Amino acid sequence: MVRASTTPHPGSRPAPDHHSGDARHTHLVVASSRLPRRVALVRPPGPRLADGIVTHIERSPVDLDLARQQHAEYVAALAGAGWDIVTVPPADDCPDAVFIEDTIVVCDDLAVITRPGALARQPETATVDDTVRDLGLRVEHIVAPGTVDGGDILQIGQTVYVRRGGRTNDDGIAQLTEALARVGRTTVAVALRKVLHLKSAVTALPDGTVLAYDDSVDLDHFPRVLQVPEEAGAHVVLLGGSDVLIAASAPRTAELIDGLGWRPVVVNIGEYERLEGCVTCLSVLIP
C-alpha cells in the first residue's frame, strides 16, 4: 500500500504550482495536435470552494488552505504514477470547478463536453473545451435541453454506465449515447438513489469488478460486484497497471483491495468529502 506524498517519483512531471497567478505556469502547453502519452486533467480549487453545492449531506466548514494542500498531494500522486498533468485554467467564480470530472467525458480521442445539471456549474465547461482542443481531441457537446454530469458516467471496458435522473436527464443520455456509439461504446442507463452521482455509489477495479457500499444503485447491471466496508471505498481511480487511487477515509477497503493483488495509492481528500467529493471528481484521466 502506498500513501501518496508531495514528492513525485523520479522521472515524473512535477505537480503544478496551484498558487501561481500565471496560468502559463500551471497549464502544460502542447505544441502539436498529438496527445502526450497519458494526460490527467485537473483544476485547482478556487477561493469560493467552501460555497460549493451540497445535496445529500449537511454542510460543514471547509479549510481552503488545507484543501489546496490536499489537492497538491492528489496531483502529485497522479504525477508519481506517470500521468502528465494538464491544469485547466481556474474558474474562480464557480465554487465547484475543482470537481472537473463533471465537465467532460472522454472515450478514445473523443471528448464530450457536458452540460452540468446544476445551472451554476454550466460556465465551468468553456475552458475545459479550450484545453482538450489544444490537446488534439475531437470535441462534441451536450446541448440544451440535455444535461449530463461526468460523475454520472462509469466506463468499464466498452460499456458506459450512465445514471438516469438527478443532474443527468434523458435527453442528455440520448445525446451521449449517440456520440459514444460512434467510438464503439454501448451505453447502459441505471437508476440511482440517495447519492449525488453514479460514481458516488460505484466504481470498478482494473479487472472490471465493481466496488459498491450499499444499495444506492441496482447492482444487477454489473457482472461482478464486491461489497466494501466503507462508503469512500466504493470510489477508486485506476492509475494504470495495478495502481488504484483511493481516499484515506477508506483504510479497510484499501487493505481489502491490497489483498486482492492491487496496489492502493492513498490520498487524503477530507476537505472535498465535506462537499460530497470523492477521488474520481478531482481529475479526468486520458490514457
Q: For cell 503544478, what's the residue?
A: 16
Which residues are CB-neighbours of 152 under 8 A, at least 6 positions away? 162, 163, 166, 167, 168, 192, 197, 198, 199
The stretches of 182-277 forming alpha helices (DSSP H) are 251-259, 270-273
Q: How confident is the model over 157-177, as pLDDT tens digits?
A: 999 999 999 999 999 999 999
Give 6's pLDDT tier (boundaries 50, 70, 90).
very low
Positive or negative: CA dihedral 113, 103, 184, 33: positive
> What average pLDDT score do residues 59-80 get?
96
Top mean-pLDDT range of 12-16, 20-24, 265-269: 265-269
- Looking at domain 12-195+269-286, which of 3.75.10.10, 3.40.50.880, 1.10.3720.10, 3.40.50.2300 is its CATH number? 3.75.10.10
Q: What is the pLDDT of residue 10?
A: 31
Q: Nine-digit cell at 258?
A: 491490497
The angle at the Cα of 53, spanning 50 to 178, to the nearest 5 degrees, equals 135
pTM of the model: 0.87
Residue 83's Cβ-side half-sphere holds a number of Cα atoms within 13 Å equal to 28
At 17 the pLDDT is: 38
**What tens digit of pLDDT does each residue of 175-219 get?**
999 999 999 999 999 999 888 899 999 999 999 999 999 989 999
Please identify every residue annotated as catalytic: 197, 281
Question: Which amino acid appears at position 26 of this protein?
Answer: T
CB 244 within 8 A of CB 265: yes
